Structure 1
Amino acid sequence: MKKFFISFVLAFSFSFAAEAQIPSVTLKDINGKTVRTDTLSNNGKPFIIDFFATWCKPCNRELTAISEVYEDWQAETGVKVIAVSIDQAQNVNKVKPLVDSHGWTYDVLLDPNGDFKRSLGVQTIPYTIIVDGNGKIAYRHNGYVEGAEEELIEKVRELQAK
């Protein structure tokens, strides 16, 4: 019975995640431009939202690992990565230097008050979401271990095959 309940909860959670839309929160990018999160898109193709912080070593490893294959991913699938920093206001000035020093070519948004993070139920980072071409959340993943980026691109490929 316990296994059935756990399976049911997991299945319900996944179906809920697959139907959820991106909530509307107003953020700024690292250049100071205002961005509404409900307008994030990738011209009908899937995109990845990756929550990180400058002080989070697993987050930085994940974004660096993705960066190493990002050009290939874009050529194959057209996927776009949007990195969202949850650094607090006093530390947002560290985000752009970190991004520049790693050579990350992602769109980078700042969520210093954690509004976007909270609206999506993100508890810990790194936290990654894949949004399908219709703006619906199709996949969520928490944490990072080496090689986990391969799971991300596989999920993107699955979305494109549908």
Structure 2
Amino acid sequence: MKKLLLLLLLTACHLSAQKQLPDLTLNNTDGVKVSLKNDFNEKDKIYIFSFWATWCAPCIQELDEMNDLQAGWKKELNLEIVAVSTDDARTQKRVHPLVSGKGWEYKVLLDSNQDLKRALSIVNIPYTVVVKNGVIVHIQNGYVPGSEEELFAKLKTL
């Protein structure tokens, strides 16, 4: 039964993928505008957009794991991890201190109005969107320890 459920989930994720990354502009933690279309468009590069919030413990755990693994991943693949904070005006002031304290070595964007989250129909976080050549090629919803290894296995097939 678990295998059938997993197969259905993977099929749903595959079918929901294959659409264009929305053409939106978000700020980074320094207040600089970043265009999704223009700044994440290197040919054949894999972009991993991880949606998170400061109040989401599984999100932070996933980003910690990816931060620890990304150097090894980059030896095998041309990829970039981008953390997209969905914190609203009330909690957004916590983003920069948390990121600084964690020492995450990837770009952090602020989706403070949740425009990108809405454009991608994201309901729950953590939520990971993998983009290659401007097209969403994989979606992973939720996080459990070890799922970063499943993600990397999937990335190697792209």
User: What range is the shorter-chain TM-score in?
Assistant: 0.7 to 0.9
Q: Which runs of 4+ in 1 moved over 3 A?
A: 7-13
Q: Which residue pairs with 1:154 in the alignment?
A: 153
Aligned CA-pair RMSD = 2.0
Q: 1:86 maps to what in 2?
A: 86
Shift of 1:90: 2.8
Query: Identity across aligned pairs (percent)?
Result: 40
- TM-score, normalising length: structure 1: 0.86
Q: CA separation in 2, counterparts of 1:103 and 1:34? A: 22
Larger CA Rg, structure 1 vs 2: 1
SS state at 1:49 partner = strand
8 Å CA contact retained: 2:89, 2:112: yes
Judged with a 3 Å threshold, the aligned counterparts in structure 2 of structure 1 residues 88 and 8 are, in CA distance, closer, same or farther, namely closer
**3-state DSSP of counterpart to 1:90:** coil
Partner of 1:54, secondary structure, is coil
Query: Which secondary structure state, in structure 2, belongs to the residue aligned with residue 131 of structure 1?
Result: strand
TM-score (norm: length of structure 2): 0.88
Matched residues in 1 for 2:156 and 2:9: separation? 26
Count of aligned residue pairs for this structure pair:
151
* 1:43-54 matches, cutoff 5 A: 43-54=43-54
The corresponding residue for 2:4 is: none
5+ residue gaps, structure 1: 1-6
Q: Distance in 2 between matches of 1:104 and 1:67?
A: 6
Deviation at 1:25, TM superposition (A): 1.7
Distance 2:42 2:150 in 1: 20
Larger helix percent: 1
**Residue matched to 2:64:** 64
CA separation of 1:12 and 1:125: change in aligned 2, threshold 3 A = closer
Report if aligned partners of 1:42, 1:79 keep a CA contact under 8 Å in 2. Answer: no
Point out where structure 2 has 5 or more consecutive residues left out of the alignment.
1-6
Deviation, 1:64, is 0.4
Alpha-carbon shift at residue 12 of structure 1 (Å): 6.9
